[in-house]
Amino acid sequence: QQIQEDLNKQLLENLVSFLSRSHSNFQEKTTEWTCRMKFREIPTAALVLGVNVTDHDLTFRGLSDVLQDNITPYVALLEAKDCPGTKNLMQKLMGQLMNCDIDVDSLEDEDCVQVSRNKIRCSMSSLISWYESVKKKTDSETPSKKRNSSSRHWQSPPIVVIFKDMESFTTKVLQEFIVISSQHIHELPLVLIFGIATSPMIIHRLLPHSVSSLLCIELFQSLSCKEHLSTIIDKLLLTSQFPFKLGEKVLQVLINIFLYHDFSVQNFIKGFQLCIVEHFYSQPLSVLCCQVEDIKKRAYSLSHDQCENIRRLPSFRRHVEKQESGKQVALLTNDSFLKEETVKLLEDLHVYHENYVSILRCLHVFTSSLPKYPLGKQIRELHCACLENRVWETEEYESSLQLARMLNKTDLVNMLQQCVEILMSSSGREFDKTAEKLKEFLTQFQNLEAEASQEQDVSVSSQKELQKKTDLYHLQKTLLELKESRRPKKLTKFEMLRFEVVDYIDSLVRKYLVPAEDRTLHEIVYFNTANVLRGHLNAAPRTALHTALNNPHWYLKNQALKCDGGGISNKAPDICIVYKLHLECGRLINLVDWLEAFSTVVMAAEEPNADAASSDQVDDTIHARFIRAVSELELLGFIKPSKQKTDHVARLTWGGC
Partner 1 sequence: LAKKAKEQKMGNLVEEYFEAHSSSKVLTSDRTLQKLRKRRLTQQTLRDLLKNAPVAYAAEIRDLNQQHESLFSKWMLQLHLGFNIVLYGLGSKRDLLEKFRTSLLQDSVHLVVNGYFPSITVRSILNSITEEVLDHIGTFRSPLDQLEFITKRFKEDSSLELYVLIHNLDSQMLRGERSQQILAQLSSLPSIYLIASIDHINAPLMWDQAKLSLYNWLWYETTTFNPYVEETSYENSLLVQQTGSLALSSLMHVLHSLTLNARGIFRLLAQHQLEKKDNPSYPGLSFQDFYQQCREAFLVNSDLTLRAQLTEFRDHKLIRTKRGADGVEYLLIPVDDSTLTDFLEKEDEDV
Residue 654 C-beta: closest distance to partner 1, Å = 4
Number of H helices, E strands in the chain: 27, 10
Backbone phi, psi, residue 184, to 5°: -105, 15
Does residue 640 sit in helix, strand or coil? strand
Q: Judge whether 352 and 519 are in contact, CB under 8 Å.
A: yes
Report residue 449 CA to chain centroid gap: 44
35 vs 548, which CB is nearer to partner 1? 548
> In angstroms, what is the C-alpha Rg of the chain?
36
Minimum distance of partner 1 from residue 593's CB (angstroms) = 6
Phi, psi of 39 (to 5 degrees): 55, 60
Q: What residues does 190 pair with on adjacent strands?
A: 159
**Cα(561)–Cα(575) distance, integer angstroms:** 14
Q: Using alpha carbons, list the distances in angstroms from residue 621 to 63, 430, 618, 625, 630.
A: 66, 79, 5, 6, 14
The pairing of strands 245-246 and 74-78 is unpaired
The answer to whether the Cα torsion of 329, 332, 336, 339 is positive or negative is positive
Closer CB to partner 1, 282 or 301, in the complex: 282
Q: Specify the residue, 449 or 632, whose C-beta has the smaller distance to partner 1.
A: 632
Which helix H or strand E contains 631, and what residues bound it?
helix 615-636
Residue 75 is given by DSSP the state E
Residue nearer to partner 1 on the CB measure, 80 or 466 = 80
Question: Which residue lies nearer to partner 1 by CB, 16 or 124?
Answer: 124
| Residue 195, helix vs strand vs coil | strand
Nearer to partner 1, 39 or 555 (CB): 555
* Minimum distance of partner 1 from residue 274's CB (angstroms): 7
- CB 554 → partner 1: shortest distance, Å? 9
Q: From CA 339, how far away is CA 118, in angstroms rounded?
A: 70
Tell me how far apart the terminal alpha carbons of the chain are, to the nearest angstrom. 42
Name which of 261 and 344 has its Cβ closer to partner 1: 261
**Residue 168 beta carbon to partner 1: minimum distance, rounded to whole angstroms:** 9
Whichever of 479 and 556 has its CB closer to partner 1, that residue is 556
Least Å from the CB of residue 139 to partner 1: 24
Asked if 156 and 146 count as a contact pair (C-beta separation under 8 A), the reply is: yes
The distance of closest approach from Cβ of residue 517 to partner 1 in the complex, given in angstroms and rounded to an integer, is 23
Find the shortest distance in angstroms from Cβ 629 to partner 1.
9
Contacts of 403-407 spanning 24+ positions with Cβ under 8 A? 403/370, 403/371, 403/374, 404/366, 404/367, 404/370, 404/502, 404/505, 405/498, 405/499, 405/502, 407/498
Q: Which amino acid is at 593?
A: D
Q: Which is nearer to partner 1, 216 or 277 (CB)?
A: 277
- Which 8-state DSSP code applies to residue 216? E
**From the CB of 585, what's the least distance to partner 1, in Å?**
8
One-character DSSP codes across 169-206: S-HHHHHHHHHHHHHTTTTS-EEEEEEESS-THHHHHH
- Closer CB to partner 1, 211 or 549, in the complex: 549
The DSSP annotation for 80-148 comes to: GGG-SSHHHHHHHHHHHHHHHHHHHTSSTTHHHHHHHHHHHHHHHH--TTHHHHHHHIIIIIHHHHHHH
* Half-sphere exposure of residue 444: CA atoms within 13 angstroms, side-chain side: 16
Which helix (H) or strand (E) covers residue 46, if one does? Answer: strand 43-48
Nearest of 50, 482, 405 to residue 228 by alpha carbon = 50
CB of 377 to partner 1, least distance (A): 22
Note the maximum CA span of the chain. Answer: 122
Comparison of 468 and 557: residue with beta carbon closer to partner 1: 557
Report the nearest approach of partner 1 to the CB of residue 399 (Å). 22
Question: Nearest distance from residue 229's CB to partner 1, in Å?
Answer: 16
CB 637 → partner 1: shortest distance, Å? 4
Handedness of CA 557, 560, 562, 566 (dihedral sign): negative
Instruction: Report which secondary-structure segment, H or E, holds 160.
Output: strand 159-163
578 contact partners, CB below 8 Å, separation of at least 6: 594, 598, 626, 629, 630, 633
Of 382 and 597, the one with the shorter C-beta distance to partner 1 is 597
Closer to partner 1 by Cβ: residue 167 or 381: 167
Q: 526 and 516 in contact (C-beta within 8 Å)?
A: yes
- For partner 1, the closer of residues 608 and 656 by Cβ is 656
Shortest approach of partner 1 to residue 626 CB, angstroms? 7
The nearest distance, CB 56 to partner 1, in angstroms, is 9
Cβ of residue 57: shortest distance to partner 1, in angstroms? 9
* 488/656 with CB nearer partner 1: 656
Give the nearer residue to partner 1 in terms of CB position, either 59 or 72. 59
Number of Cβ within 10 Å of residue 73's Cβ equals 24
